[in-house]
Amino acid sequence: MQVAGGKWQVASGKSRITHHASRFTFHVLRLTFLLLILTACHSNHPTWERIEQEGVLRVGLDPTYPPFEAADEDGAFGLDVDLAQAIAADLGLETEFVYFGYDGLYDALATEQVDVLISAMVIVPGQMRDFAYSDPYFNAGEILIVPADEAAIEGMADLDGRILAVELGALGHVEANAWGQRLPNLTIQTHNSAAEAVTAVANQQADAALVDAISGRLALKDTPTIKRITDPVTVEPFAFVTRKDDERLLENLNASLKHLSETGQLDAITSRWLN
Amino acid sequence: MNDELAASHSAFSFQLAAFSLQPSAFKTGFRLLILTLILPLLQPAPILIMPGPPQTVYSEHPITAVHTRLTDEVEEWKIQRTLQLVREMGATRIVEFFPWAYYQSKDGSIAWEHPDQVVAHANAQGLEVIARIGLTPYWARPKDTPLTYLDSSAYDDFAAFTAVFAQRYRGKVTHIIIGNEPNLNYEWGYRAAAPQDYVDLLKTVYPAVKQANPDVVVLAGALAPTLEPAGSPWGLNDLAYLTAMYKAGAADYFDGLAVHAYGLTFPPQTAPAPDLLNFRRVELLRQIMLDNDDEETHIFITETGWNDHPRWTMAVRPGQRIQYTLDALRYAEANWPYVETVALWVFRYPAPTKSYMDYYTLVTPEFVTKPIYDEIKQYTGN
């Protein structure tokens, strides 16, 4: 048998095979070693390296969810937009906002059209096979709104014998019904919207309103006669989303988010859009 | 110690030495062995869930039904609790998915335990079961194809399974739906499938099922409401698809037509139009049936409803969702004598999806009833 230039001449004797085999082993080892070095040199963080090289963080968002994100002829604006810009500045980067429909955000990230989603994204356990979430930056769960001078209500447990306003059918209504089984004298008053439920408190038609944090905190901006109870009733955190393999990017985003939180910038941005 | 005992002790010690064990170690090991055998017996016995005495659904509007999602519910008490709540809401029927791929092995054996539980508990609650059969086992489709892939080489296997299913649950499952949304390529594993493909499937499955169980009502799979034009990689307009089904000779191979009638952002009274997806699109499908002299065949709405997700573009406010749902039930009962049932999508998921799909449910994964559940319950007179 003779193959390719005569180097594998099996018929010519055992010693010749052994000689060529040892040379072959040597070459394989050398090649393996080189591959190992190349692999070690090759970056595991191509997204972050590209961001650093270009100096631009590409942010995907759905600009139809004020006050978190909206857009007009001047571009995107809102809480998430300000936060993305603050994060980017902290990392020495510029931002580029790319708009998608809400249903297309994950696909846009998966197909590398953007580096990160900052768009009031809730944490979805089912997505964690392909995506990773940052530390939470906002809790959009249900909160209690009470009159500004109310001192006796610190949580849901204090509402027995009181009137609680909710939006008909909303998650606050579901939660109120669940509490109603524990508080026999709780009266649940339904309204057509969260804003109307909060207004009922301001107008002294209800003792408290249980609404989502976004609606509740928006209402507080214009109504000084009401306040929110700081402890949320339910938890629905918003977080940034990256591709799962982009670990360095996520580390940097989390570090920057922590920095903004510690320096009060996160609170300042949130308060700019929500009370 | 006498000599005999000493000899015996010596032999025993030798045996122990052979296993490098001291007598004390042997005792410890023996005790551990006994403990290991006894401990499992000390575990509490699994809770025995019995279907219980037969119940009856009370409903002043028996057209009301609901699509349950028990396929992925593994705990029997949750299956039972779900169906109790369905009965208490006043729904007379459930639509449930029974995936062929989950049950039948390559050797032909069928794991009946889960479907047996679902059917037994539904019947115990007095609920009729409309069973949708779908999803192809790995052995009945080419390698690396998705679960939804089905081609003509597996039609006979699909028919055989569905016939066995119909026979097993004779008198317990009253209706069987063949497949789901066949006008979408996704439902064929992204195989471009023409209406003729689906009619060929009906022609294979229908006679097999009727032979196995002449009592069961066979429903043609509900078409997805869509405006996709011919040649689209996603699917085909439902009106065009149904017309083509009749042209391909489907009429003799189904007893009823399953329909998906989502309202999206429109109130249920909104007039239908060929270029509009809304609740009353049912009327356009009905007209196609009449145009094909198929007046006797009835419609079963196996999925309908509105969504109240705060961000989804196809959603409405929670209060609107309640109002539209009740109005839809009233409208169907008053205006559509050919519609036998209106099943709302969806009763409950076993776990949160954290997506807009959660906002179609009537009950949370923790079995907290939503206000829409309470309103429907009141509507049915419960």
Nearest CB to A174; choose among B311, B319, B371 = B371
* Claim to verify: residue B253 and residue B210 sit in the same structural domain: yes
Mean pLDDT confidence for B37-47: 70
Tell me if B179 is assigned to some domain.
Answer: yes
pLDDT exceeds 50 at position B23: yes
**pLDDT tens-digit profile of A141-152?**
999 999 999 999
Mean pLDDT of chain B: 92
Q: Look at B322 and A65 and tell me if their CB atoms are within 8 Å.
A: no
Mean pLDDT confidence for A70-91: 97
Query: Does residue B256 contact residue B175 with C-beta atoms inside 8 Å?
Result: yes
Range of B8's domain? 3-38
* Claim to verify: residue B126 and residue B13 sit in the same structural domain: no
Which residue reads 């989950």 in tokens? B102
Nearest CA in chain A to B322: A169
Dihedral angle computed from the Cα positions of residues B186, B187, B190 and B194, in that order, rounded to the nearest 10 degrees: -120
pLDDT exceeds 60 at position A208: yes
B88: which 2 tokens? 């208490």
Nearest CB to A177; choose among B311, B355, B368 = B368
Question: Around Cβ A62, how many Cβ atoms within 10 Å?
Answer: 24
B181: which 2 tokens? 């949304």
* Claim to verify: residue B31 and residue B153 sit in the same structural domain: no
* Confidence at A23, pLDDT banded by 50, 70, 90: low
pLDDT for residue A14: 43
Which residue reads 């063949």 in tokens? B178
Tell me if B93 is assigned to some domain.
Answer: yes
pLDDT exceeds 70 at position B321: yes
3-state SS assignment for residue B167: helix
Nearest CA in chain A to B373: A169
Angle at B201 between CA B66 and CA B161, to 5 degrees: 70
DSSP string, chain A: ---TTTT--GGG-HHHHHHHHHHHHHHHHHHHHHHHHHHHHS-S-HHHHHHHHHTEEEEEE-SEETTTEEEETTEEESHHHHHHHHHHHHTT-EEEEEE--GGGHHHHHHTTS-SEEEEEEEP-GGGTTTEEE----EE-SEEEEEETT--S-SSGGGGTTSEEEEETTSHHHHHHHHHHTT-TT-EEEEESSHHHHHHHHHTTS-SEEEEEHHHHHHHHHH-TTEEE-SS-SS--EEEEEEETT-HHHHHHHHHHHHHHHHTTHHHHHHHHH--
Which letter does DSSP use for residue B310 in this model? S
pLDDT for residue A13: 41
Tell me if B316 is assigned to some domain.
Answer: yes
pLDDT for residue A43: 56
* Claim to verify: residue B7 and residue B109 sit in the same structural domain: no
pLDDT exceeds 80 at position A169: yes
pLDDT exceeds 70 at position A261: yes
Query: How far apart, in whole angstroms, are the C-alpha atoms of residue A168 and residue A177?
Result: 11
* Claim to verify: residue B14 and residue B112 sit in the same structural domain: no
Tell me if B58 is assigned to some domain.
Answer: no
Mean pLDDT confidence for B132-142: 98
pLDDT exceeds 90 at position B24: no
* Claim to verify: residue B79 and residue B131 sit in the same structural domain: yes
Which residue of A168, A175, A177, A214 to mutate against B (max B Cβ within 10 Å)? A168
* Claim to verify: residue B271 and residue B133 sit in the same structural domain: yes
**pLDDT tens-digit profile of B202-215?**
999 999 999 999 99
Query: How far apart, in whole angstroms, are the C-alpha atoms of residue B33 and residue A58?
Result: 62
> Of A12-26, A232-246, B158-172, B312-326, which range is least confident?
A12-26
How many domains in chain B? 2
Query: How far apart, in whole angstroms, are the C-alpha atoms of residue B153 and residue A218?
Result: 59
pLDDT exceeds 70 at position A41: no
Return all residues near A68 (Cβ < 8 A) that are at least 6 apart: A78, A79, A80, A119, A120, A214, A238, A273
pLDDT for residue B112: 98
Angle at A259 between CA A257 and CA A263, to 5 degrees: 120
Residues in chain A: 275
Query: How far apart, in whole angstroms, are the C-alpha atoms of residue B25 and residue B28?
Result: 5
Query: Does residue B145 contact residue B187 with C-beta atoms inside 8 Å?
Result: no
pLDDT for residue A24: 61
**pLDDT tens-digit profile of B332-368?**
999 999 999 999 999 999 999 888 999 999 999 999 9
* Claim to verify: residue B75 and residue B31 sit in the same structural domain: no
> Of A88-97, B1-10, B20-29, B287-296, which range is least confident?
B1-10
**pLDDT tens-digit profile of B210-256?**
999 999 999 999 999 999 999 999 999 999 999 999 999 999 999 99
Mean pLDDT confidence for B302-320: 95
Mean pLDDT confidence for B249-274: 98
Tell me if B51 is assigned to some domain.
Answer: no
For the beta sheet containing A75-77, the strands, ordered from the edge strand earlier in sequence to the opposite edge, are: A64-65, A69-72, A75-77
**pLDDT tens-digit profile of B176-204?**
999 999 999 999 999 987 999 999 999 99
pLDDT exceeds 90 at position A171: yes
Tell me if B164 is assigned to some domain.
Answer: yes
B24: which 2 tokens? 């004390």
pTM of the shown model = 0.83
Query: How far apart, in whole angstroms, are the C-alpha atoms of residue B251 and residue B218?
Result: 12
* Claim to verify: residue B9 and residue B147 sit in the same structural domain: no
On chain A, the residues whose CB falls within 8 A of the CB of B368 are 174, 177-178
Nearest CB to A126; choose among B354, B369, B372 = B354
* Claim to verify: residue B13 and residue B80 sit in the same structural domain: no
* Claim to verify: residue B325 and residue B366 sit in the same structural domain: yes
Query: How far apart, in whole angstroms, are the C-alpha atoms of residue B52 and residue B316?
Result: 39
Identify the residue with better confidence: B128 or B17.
B128
Query: Does residue A188 contact residue A164 with C-beta atoms inside 8 Å?
Result: yes
Query: How far apart, in whole angstroms, are the C-alpha atoms of residue A67 and residue A81?
Result: 10
* Confidence at A17, pLDDT banded by 50, 70, 90: very low
Write b or e for each residue in B186-223: b if 16 or more Cβ atoms lie within 10 A of its Cβ, otherwise e: ebbbebebbbebbbbbbbbbbebbbebbeebbbbbbbb
Query: How far apart, in whole angstroms, are the C-alpha atoms of residue A193 and residue B300?
Result: 34
B381 has a chain A CB within 8 A of its CB:
no
pLDDT for residue B192: 84
What interhelical angle do B318-335 and B371-379 show, nearest 10?
Answer: 30
Nearest CB to A124; choose among B354, B364, B374 = B354
SS3 percent helix, strand, coil of chain B, rounded to 5, is 45, 15, 40
CATH number of the domain residue B273 falls in: 3.20.20.80
- For the stretch B243-249, contacts whose Cβ atoms lie closer than 8 Å and that sit 24 or more positions apart, written own/partner, are B243/B288, B244/B194, B244/B195, B244/B196, B245/B195, B245/B198, B245/B199, B245/B220, B246/B288, B246/B292, B246/B294, B247/B195, B248/B195, B248/B196, B248/B199, B249/B199, B249/B203
* Confidence at B75, pLDDT banded by 50, 70, 90: very high
* Claim to verify: residue B27 and residue B70 sit in the same structural domain: no
Which letter does DSSP use for residue B365 in this model? T
* Confidence at B16, pLDDT banded by 50, 70, 90: very low
pLDDT for residue B29: 73
Tell me if B48 is assigned to some domain.
Answer: no
Residue A168 to chain B, least CA–CA distance (Å): 5
Tell me if B53 is assigned to some domain.
Answer: no
Q: Look at A65 and B311 and tell me if their CB atoms are within 8 Å.
A: yes
ipTM score for this prediction: 0.79
DSSP string, B106-164: TTS-B--HHHHHHHHHHHHTT-EEEEEEE---GGGS-TT--TT---GGGHHHHHHHHHH
Query: How far apart, in whole angstroms, are the C-alpha atoms of residue B27 and residue B110?
Result: 47
**pLDDT tens-digit profile of A81-100?**
999 999 999 999 999 999 99
Identify the residue with better confidence: B225 or B5.
B225
Which residue reads 């509009």 in tokens? B276
CA-based nearest residue to A212, from A164, A155, A275, A143: A143
pLDDT for residue A103: 86
Mean pLDDT confidence for A166-190: 96
Mean pLDDT confidence for B262-291: 98
CA-based nearest residue to B253, from B217, B284, B223: B217
A125 has a chain B CB within 8 A of its CB:
yes
